[in-house]
Chain A
């Protein structure tokens, strides 16, 4: 409640329900008179009265103690255990979140259709615009209207369904207006119902009221995005598979020959010896350290896959140790659970056991993981877990994790895999270096352990489009470090699609190209010089913006604010933004409208903010806010706008990897608001260690332009970090021409050269030259 207003009501439809634990009917005592109904099937709001207990229970008995799916039988030794609760949200028409679904940002009502399902599954060639379950589950829903943002966190790792209904469904805009005019309108309301197969009802309500409040409230429950190594924000080149060391070397050289930056090259499952993770194929990768050293000499890095299914093979160290320590998941009879995956017959370590995770982490030590070096990082795939011959390609629900059935913990299994892996990477450096681990499966809290990608998409335009709402939905519920396979995993993209996907992916947090084994090669330079140039250009744009991306990840790590955001997060009162999911914000200062239509000649971008202005980052042309702007596009166009009122630091000297750019100078892009004001931040640290946290070794500065003065202030006076980076250039967009410019630093004033471009009102300050960590003021007179 807020004042007289009801914000949210629980069980208003009376759908609170849970199964009593009971004995199998042979021995069962009649369940005592329940004060809560036990039925879980469908919406039965009216059905509240007592039912004909006998007839009903006979019917329900089918499937209560055993269920069969295709050829699989779930023994359900505990019988039915499901739980349910409904939430009503008066005044709410827009709800978001509960990833992972390949669907629009704004959740749809599920009346008459399937509910949104949360059950981590290895889905082969997933369908779009569909509530079906995918690789990960975060049972968090956000509700938003112009007054307030709230969140519901249904903490349950069992299979979960969410039904959404709304009293405004199907009403046209006109119908709503009519309601409004007549004053007869019922308040719009969204009702949601959560159902889980087992576990307890454990719900957190985040009350907001601002979006940022919900993010920090949720972050206080599950933690924030891990702060990744700077390099992992660069470009990642992946393929199933880079065949051998020679192949890796030639791809690496290809990037240099074509002057395209990249930071990570990835190895998929074929790199391991017989899919025994932590090993290397002796023919294809006989000298992994040599290969890694070669990359290190170029200041580049590698990721090798480590999946959680372990080949059952008495000649395999990992398998033998897990067996001897009795760390495998058990089947219902208490024997080691086995299933088929890439290596053939495989065991599945029980990552829910802390001892198991500690042991797993120890396997990443340099003396355990042979051939690994400090520039080798990890990718956890198939951690739903994927079991090729299991029900729905996953683990049997009656498998056992200690006392717990797999059904109880299914959705959190993947989180534990990534947790243990990230822990291993941290530990191998004695806790000094930040880990980088990519995961496919995830749960609430996975953001603490690394990056997430949207799984096995396809080289189709719709898959490019859906990458935006999919990552936006993840960002809303904590997972900021998100990306989709650039180019599409399955099938071969057309050249145009590939270029457009690079342009989109370069402006999403996790930027990795990946391709299926059966596709033709698609390294960026294989499509003719024009397309190579287009791809090079957009990757360079990404690298120039790395300081901004890094700062946003730092902010996400500190506050829980999503990096890639729907527009409504920063424009919560602008209803026009509530359903937009073909454009998005990076932080609050960059607005991106990727071109995701084949043969597109123009896009219409919505620029939010009445009274605000936006600057085209390529031309510096100024546009007013609160308008739909038609932008003609060519194949080279990526509509990106900087918010008037913001300052974005860039490193415009793009080099072959992010590490090579470490000491390079910054250019500040100061985009003035109509009131000639702008602000921004600059964050600098060593880019890879925990020293920012443990030793406060970082620089964090506020940059403010006001009253014709641009000032850098220290936001962390007790921090210490020295950088050799300096400010080489300041661009002030929307400026007027000064007569002179002075740099005030250390009590001295020195003149600064400048140029003024009248046509676009861009003032360029030439080489002011101050250290990026210093206090200074630039005065325009």
Chain B
């Protein structure tokens, strides 16, 4: 293209024997020059009529198709041919002839308007050649890169398929393993449960005995206290000194009331006091202590496992921060607690409630627990591994299911992200995933669309990507983004715009769309296209 003029001159030089300046009506391309023969009647190119040659380019439109005025603006539908030696030849609408605006780089369109045009064809030609060359280079290199990408994608694809197959095999094994371990766990848990129950029961019995013992001691103490005259009997009057035992809460313990408490007797001895004690023990205030400490209640029925000590949980923050795998984490923590259980029992503060704390398991029971715990751990670990395996398989299968182009050349974009910073925003394109926009100076991210589909023209749908269903616009549609792919050596977002409200356009270069360069280079002899 770039050297047509030169070339044509050459052709003519050859055919006519001598180099000639090609003359003829203004604005006629060489291909049509034959129809404009000086001093011979001109027939409009649509054949509609024939006019004298002096009416060609006479600034009056005679032909309906505009062909009689290739060099003037007279015809509304005419076109003017500029040779643009050194650059590309082109046609412009004849309405641009002599309109005061330079359209042809060789200035030929402004021959009578007074517009000061400069011939810029050489410069443009040079620039265009540079651009073309660059483009060719880019295409060339891009295409090479693309081949690598295709290779890699192929390899990756195969690897992944093999991996998936392997994993599925492994998964089967894991499935079995989990089942086996579940049985082991359940088998180990049965004796553990029994041993624990035994231990607990024993402890409960022991606790009851201790409580009884204590009560007796208290009663004896109370008897001695009540027996003011130390005669070995507690009398009604002695009991009356303990106003707190007042049944009707009128502040005084009457004789009758006291007698009532004592089962009608005037006085009781130590052994008979045993039957009185249950009537008064709840209200009785020891004389030695101003206030009886809170009555010792039977410890609640709940089983006090020595492990429960959440307050001292050492890693609470880790627990909260990791949200994604909550279940797994929790279980891990739980196990850790179990491991730490024994030391917590020995904390010093227990002294007072010595009797409330369950004594450590005996060796046999502990052994059973340890065994069960191990079985549990093993089972859960296996189950977790199975879940992870499942996730991995799913991810790879998802990846394999994407349309990464005819030769999978877009595979490499998967799980990558590319950013472009403009005056106000940072745009982020994560191919096959989503497009987003974030204000440069703080502010929350806006979703400009998630992966929808390839949406290029029918003959090559891989030139456009469509991302849809982004954040809704106020009183408008959901945001969406079209990504236009062009050939480039590098994979970069080159520009973004918002041609319509909430409809974004992103330009993206990648080697993956580079076409095989035409098998020719730019040497002029390849450009005969007459």
Contact = CB atoms under 8 A, between A and B. Distances in A.
Secondary structure type dominating chain B contacts: loop
B93 A259 contact: yes
A519 B424 contact: no
B471 interface: no
A253 to B, nearest CB: 13
Contacts of A325: none
**Chain A interface category by residue count:** 20 to 34
Secondary structure type dominating chain A contacts: loop
Contacts of B475: 518
A127 B13 CA distance: 74
Given A518-B475, A655-B96, A656-B99, 12 more contacts: A243-B497, A247-B499, A520-B501, A521-B499, A521-B500, A654-B95, A655-B99, A660-B95, A660-B99, A660-B100, A660-B101, A728-B60
B74 interface: yes
A729 B58 CA distance: 13
B74 A653 contact: yes
Nearest to B114: A663
B100 A519 contact: no
Contacts of A659: 100
A283 B423 contact: yes
Interface string A260-291: 00000000000000000000001110000000
B60 A766 contact: yes
B181 to A, nearest CB: 60
Contacts of B423: 282-284
A755 B498 CA distance: 54
Nearest to A660: B99
A93 interface: no
Contacts of A244: 497
B58 to A, nearest CB: 8
Nearest to B94: A653
A655 B80 CA distance: 14
A474 B423 CA distance: 45
B278 interface: no
Interface in A718-745: 728-729
B101 A299 contact: yes
A283 B424 contact: yes
Contacts of A729: 60
- Which of B58, B76, B424, B500 has the most C-beta atoms of chain A within 10 angstroms of its own C-beta? B500
A75 B497 CA distance: 50
Contacts of B99: 299, 655-656, 660-661
Contacts of B499: 243, 247, 521
A267 to B, nearest CB: 16
Interface string A614-637: 000000000000000000000000
Interface string A190-209: 00000000000000000000
A771 to B, nearest CB: 14
Contacts of B473: 518
Given A246-B497, A298-B101, A517-B501, A653 B60 contact: no
Contacts of A652: 76
B501 A655 contact: no
A655 B73 contact: yes
A520 B503 contact: yes
Interface in B481-530: 497-503
A687 to B, nearest CB: 13
Interface in B453-486: 473, 475-476
24 contacts: A243-B498, A247-B497, A259-B93, A259-B95, A282-B423, A298-B101, A299-B100, A518-B476, A518-B501, A518-B502, A519-B500, A521-B500, A540-B76, A653-B74, A653-B95, A654-B76, A655-B96, A655-B99, A659-B100, A660-B99, A664-B73, A767-B58, A767-B59, A767-B60
A746 interface: no
A56 interface: no
A517 B501 CA distance: 6
A556 to B, nearest CB: 29
Contacts of B76: 540, 652-654
A363 to B, nearest CB: 27
A285 to B, nearest CB: 11
A26 interface: no
Contacts of B73: 653, 655, 664
A297 B476 CA distance: 37
Contacts of A728: 59-60, 74
Interface string B88-114: 000001011001110000000000000
A244 B496 CA distance: 12
A634 B475 CA distance: 36
Nearest to A766: B60
Interface in B424-462: 424
A520 B500 contact: yes
B478 to A, nearest CB: 13
A452 to B, nearest CB: 27
Interface in A646-681: 652-656, 659-661, 664
Q: Nearest 4 pairs between A and B by C-beta? A: A283-B423, A660-B99, A767-B60, A655-B95
A656 B501 contact: no
A325 B75 CA distance: 59
Contacts of B498: 243
Nearest to B113: A663
A767 B59 CA distance: 9
Contacts of B501: 517-520
B319 to A, nearest CB: 45
A521 B497 CA distance: 13
Interface in A504-549: 517-521, 540
Nearest to B99: A660
A689 to B, nearest CB: 18
A8 to B, nearest CB: 50
Interface in A223-258: 243-244, 246-247
- Which of A297, A652, A653, A656 has the most C-beta atoms of chain B within 10 angstroms of its own C-beta? A653
B344 to A, nearest CB: 61
- Which of A283, A298, A521, A767 has the most C-beta atoms of chain B within 10 angstroms of its own C-beta? A767
Contacts of A517: 501
Interface string A765-781: 01100000000000000
A414 to B, nearest CB: 27
B53 to A, nearest CB: 15
A117 to B, nearest CB: 28
A397 B169 CA distance: 83
A661 B100 CA distance: 10
A664 B74 CA distance: 9
B97 to A, nearest CB: 9
Contacts of B500: 519-521
Contacts of A766: 60
A729 to B, nearest CB: 7
A676 B498 CA distance: 59
A283 B424 CA distance: 8
A247 B95 CA distance: 25
A243 B424 CA distance: 13
Interface in A688-713: none
Contacts of A655: 73, 95-96, 99
Contacts of A521: 499-500
Contacts of A656: 95-96, 99, 101
Contacts of B95: 259, 653-656, 660
A522 B398 CA distance: 39
A729 B500 CA distance: 45
Contacts of A540: 76
A728 B99 CA distance: 17
Contacts of B58: 767
Contacts of A282: 423
A518 B501 CA distance: 5
Contacts of A298: 101
B100 to A, nearest CB: 6
Contacts of B59: 728, 767
Contacts of A664: 73
B459 to A, nearest CB: 18
Nearest to A653: B73
A660 B93 CA distance: 14
